[in-house]
Structure 1
Amino acid sequence: MTNQPQTDPSEPPKAVLVSAMRNEAAFLLEWVAYHRVIGFSRIVVCANPSSDGTDALLAALDAAGAITYLPTEPGPDQSPLEAANAAFEATVGYEDGCWYGWLDADEFMNIHSGSGRVADLPFFCTSDQVTGFAGIGQERPALAPGHGLTHRDFLGGNGRPLLAGDERTEAWLAGKPLGHSNLAAKGEAGAALAQINHCAVRTPEHYRLKQARGRGYVKAGSSGRVRYDERYFSRFDQNEVEDHTILRWEAEVTSEISGLMQVPSVARAQGEANRLIAAELAGLYPEAARKVAPTVAAPPLDAPPVAKDEAGLRIAYLLSALAPSRQFTILDIGANPVNPPRYRRLLEAGGCHVVGFEPQEAAFQALQTDAGPNESYINAAVGKPGKGFLHLYPFSGLVSLFPLSLPSLQFLGRYRRKHRMPPTVEVDLRGIDDIVEITRIDMLKLDVQGAELDILTSGRRKLADAIIVIPELRYYRLYQNEPLMGEVDSELRRQGFVLHKFLPQTRVHLKNSQTARLNTQFVSTQLVDGDAVYIRDMEDITRWSDDQLRFLALAAATVFNSHDLALRCMDHLVARGVLPAECPADYLAHLPAKLLRPVAAVAEIPPALPL
């Protein structure tokens, strides 16, 4: 677990992660394990004295070679962060050829480019592109009102007057320091390459611990506004949008945590930290001790560590209980790995075989590089048979056989100059029914930016035995002449599918005169697009084979979280004598507790009607 110096100049630069901590033992192992997995070559943690065992845990991790631990003690005129920065510069310092990032213990770097590792960040090549990471940014003078200018116009050098008397303008002209803002300009903000997942509040119980700990920017004894109040919790307790992208690392991070917990000193320190945290929570308010379980339980030193993985256990149970006669086959058209697919966990467990089509060469190569034994990828475009032109927009997730509708983008506030005239490449389009590599389809997933209808009509014969289709539906047109939801829905119904559920949908804020005063996270109402799940009509269940019911149960439980549908399929299999009668009830043991009623309340519920 030691870090070796970089000796090969052809290797990518080392990336060093720095943090300042106090009382972070509850989630420290997860934070360290995750950032080691994604490729940080060194992790340096500065910490002032803690009350929850963080110091001992950091010391154990340092002794194991997982991190570098720098104990700090803020002086009378220092904040904890100032003391941490001084300790880092004095003890470790900066090395030529390295990149440095500073994250808090509740922040996780979530990289989308390449394979998702630090070395895949293209903006590590030039520091002036790293906003807020390398400490280099653009300072923009304030512009005089009334001229209709924007900062983008100023950067273009149009020579219009600046705002006279503005402190920042005068400082800039005089060459004086300008100070800094933690807000990026709208044109510079984005998460296409990477984002920081900021777990600002975690749970109400752990937020109470955060309140008790205090702020790292504030000097001891300082008076000032209370930052961590109820308003802060309400503001940052955001649950409106699901983002599963970071879960691609779940298995590797769990394995890394298990490896660290095999070090006896780490296991002992984590166990003591869990005890201290539970005691502190119980002191804050007694009910917390019942609500919050320790994050990582220390196993006996002679026993292998066990990490509970509800989703993994559920998949393993279903594969064993359902015992399909063959593999579940998924056809993924538009397999570009911008985000991990919804079937990822099932694929990793060996529960399905994926045949993917991706016309973009770079995306296809990324798929090929990471492909496992149950994945087959083809570099081809699917659609209405014939010739077509692929519009190569800078963001690969926008690449389409259809050109973007610029009036639509302007209305939605998404227009950019780069959307005007992208390069195009001619491609041969193949219909599903004509592709010999496609021999069976149980589930079809479509992410093709407007070509959904053409693909569905090109595969009516081979889709006749499919039981699930997950298309991306468009509600507000983004591309010229693309079919919208109504047309795609009608075609699927003609083929015998019914709409089962909507998955998370994309909505945008419609800009207006009062936009600056609105919290657009809550006032974004224009529906644009989103995935939906269609299933084969189940009203005549006699038409369904046993394996089709098995596969629908498997996908409902593991791909799109429809546990009632999974149980309905199991009930049908029990009625056919294919599954033991206790199987549906046994499945409940693998569901999160929040999905179940208390046992005492179940007796009051009328029995379900027979199937």
Structure 2
Amino acid sequence: MATPLSSLFDDLPNVQIVDVGASWAGDNAPYHDMLLRGDATLLGFEPATDQLEILKSRGIPGTTYRSEAIGDGSIGTLHLCHSPGMTSLLEPDQRFLQHFHGFPEWARVQDTAPLKTHRLDDIPEAEGMDYLKIDIQGGELQAFQGAPRLLDEALVVQTEVQFVPFYKDQPLFAELDQTLRQHGFVFHRLVEMMSRTFAPMLINDNIFAGISQHLWADAIYVRDFTTFQDMEPTQLLKLSKVMHDVYKSIDMVGLALAKVDEKEGGNRHLQYLEWVTPQLGQ
């Protein structure tokens, strides 16, 4: 079901995306196709200089990248790890990491440096944020604390969440869930659930294989669907575009479009139902 919602409705408003921790590891972001179609614009933040240059060099239309480290506005200590993907403002917690293959070495701290963080609410270019994607190695809660105003207005959030701490004093899924609910979001679902095998067991010599222990995932949050009737049609259409194009949540899209019809007197919901039904299973 890869057909975008804009192929059915040609009057959909553009979505403003903010990506905090936008580094590129070879896989396209979930919103990538929206950018290529001109259905969205992106403001991305990536403080790692080498990654920032890679992002800029890709030349994807509608994108702007900045080097600020997003947080709560405080100055923290950046822990530079053997694997750049483990680098964080939080100190790795070897008590937990030692139980899983690879992580003790990947999280070995090679150096530290002071790092000033910036509040998302203080960055004018982030105004009008509809859709937030964030993955900053345990710093997500601090970033939320620096963006209360923007979160109150946003429609969809995709955030990395941890179920077991990789870092000392790392906020886990429960803390992030509580914060987002305070800003009017409800949990939708988990994507990319990741697990690993407890050491010393090893399955087929694959250190990335998992059996039972869930460690982290990306969690999708949406504006509380019990308040859809209080939202503007433009907001509901933007939400519909993201939830259809990125997450294929067609039942939620149907609900949002039905609320648009109640406000505008159209029949978008029925049009969508007739259009999307043949695509199911594709």
Same fold (TM over 0.5): yes
Q: Please tell me whether the aligned partners of residues 81 and 108 of structure 2 are also in contact (alpha carbons under 8 angstroms).
A: no
Whichever residue aligns with residue 4 of structure 2, its letter is R
Aligned equivalent of 2:34, options 346, 350, 364? 346
* SS of residue in 1 equivalent to 2:167: coil
Shift of 1:342: 0.5
* SS of residue in 2 equivalent to 1:461: helix
Whichever residue aligns with residue 330 of structure 1, its letter is I
Whichever residue aligns with residue 447 of structure 1, its letter is D
Q: How many residues align?
A: 280
Aligned equivalent of 2:77, options 371, 374, 389? 389
Aligned sequence identity (%): 25
Instruction: Determine if the alignment matches structure 1 residue 448 to structure 2 residue 136.
Output: yes
Please give the alpha-carbon distance, in whole angstroms, between the structure 1 residues aligned to 2:205 and 2:84. 31
1:519/1:377 Cα in 2 relative to 1: closer, same or farther (>3 Å)? Answer: closer
Instruction: Determine if the alignment matches structure 1 residue 538 to structure 2 residue 232.
Output: no
Instruction: Determine if the alignment matches structure 1 residue 508 to structure 2 residue 196.
Output: yes
Instruction: Determine if the alignment matches structure 1 residue 570 to structure 2 residue 257.
Output: yes
Q: Which has the higher contact order (CA 8 A, sep 6+)?
A: 2
Q: Please tell me whether the aligned partners of residues 83 and 107 of structure 2 are also in contact (alpha carbons under 8 angstroms).
A: no
Larger proportion of strand: 2
What is the match of residue 430 of structure 1? 118
Unaligned runs of 5+ in 2: none
Please give the alpha-carbon distance, in whole angstroms, between the structure 2 residues aligned to 1:547 and 1:427. 38
1:520/1:547 Cα in 2 relative to 1: closer, same or farther (>3 Å)? Answer: same
Please give the alpha-carbon distance, in whole angstroms, between the structure 1 residues aligned to 2:238 and 2:204. 49
1:374/1:519 Cα in 2 relative to 1: closer, same or farther (>3 Å)? Answer: closer
Whichever residue aligns with residue 499 of structure 1, its letter is F
Aligned equivalent of 2:17, options 321, 325, 330? 330
Instruction: Determine if the alignment matches structure 1 residue 413 to structure 2 residue 92.
Output: no
* SS of residue in 2 equivalent to 1:507: strand
Whichever residue aligns with residue 577 of structure 1, its letter is E
What is the match of residue 176 of structure 2? 488
Shift of 1:518: 10
Shift of 1:547: 1.0
Please give the alpha-carbon distance, in whole angstroms, between the structure 2 residues aligned to 1:330 and 1:341. 11
1:481/1:318 Cα in 2 relative to 1: closer, same or farther (>3 Å)? Answer: farther
Greater Cα offset, 338-347 or 520-529: 520-529
* SS of residue in 1 equivalent to 2:121: helix
Please give the alpha-carbon distance, in whole angstroms, between the structure 1 residues aligned to 2:265 and 2:61. 29
* SS of residue in 1 equivalent to 2:81: coil
* SS of residue in 2 equivalent to 1:412: coil
Instruction: Determine if the alignment matches structure 1 residue 368 to structure 2 residue 56.
Output: yes
Please give the alpha-carbon distance, in whole angstroms, between the structure 2 residues aligned to 1:487 and 1:340. 28
* SS of residue in 1 equivalent to 2:30: coil
Q: Any residues of structure 2 matched to 1:155-234 within 5 Å, and which?
A: none
Q: Please tell me whether the aligned partners of residues 82 and 109 of structure 2 are also in contact (alpha carbons under 8 angstroms).
A: no
Q: Any residues of structure 2 matched to 1:8-407 within 5 Å, and which?
A: 311=2, 313-320=3-10, 323-324=11-12, 326-338=13-25, 339-407=27-95
Whichever residue aligns with residue 580 of structure 1, its letter is N
Instruction: Determine if the alignment matches structure 1 residue 527 to structure 2 residue 217.
Output: no
Q: Please tell me whether the aligned partners of residues 336 and 397 of structure 1 are also in contact (alpha carbons under 8 angstroms).
A: no
Unaligned runs of 5+ in 1: 1-309, 596-611
* SS of residue in 2 equivalent to 1:337: coil
Q: Please tell me whether the aligned partners of residues 315 and 349 of structure 1 are also in contact (alpha carbons under 8 angstroms).
A: no
What is the match of residue 235 of structure 2? 548
Shift of 1:522: 8.0
1:319/1:451 Cα in 2 relative to 1: closer, same or farther (>3 Å)? Answer: farther
Deviation per CA, 1:408-466: give whole Å up to 9, x if none. Answer: 11112334445322223322211111122221110111101101111111111122111
TM-score (norm 1): 0.43
Aligned equivalent of 2:279, options 591, 596, 602? 591
Please give the alpha-carbon distance, in whole angstroms, between the structure 1 residues aligned to 2:264 and 2:204. 62
Shift of 1:386: 2.1
Pick the structure with greater CA Rg: 1
TM-score (norm 2): 0.90
Q: Please tell me whether the aligned partners of residues 358 and 377 of structure 1 are also in contact (alpha carbons under 8 angstroms).
A: yes
Q: Any residues of structure 2 matched to 1:467-478 within 5 Å, and which?
A: 467-478=155-166
Deviation per CA, 1:481-523: give whole Å up to 9, x if none. Answer: 111111111101111111011112001112356x569999986
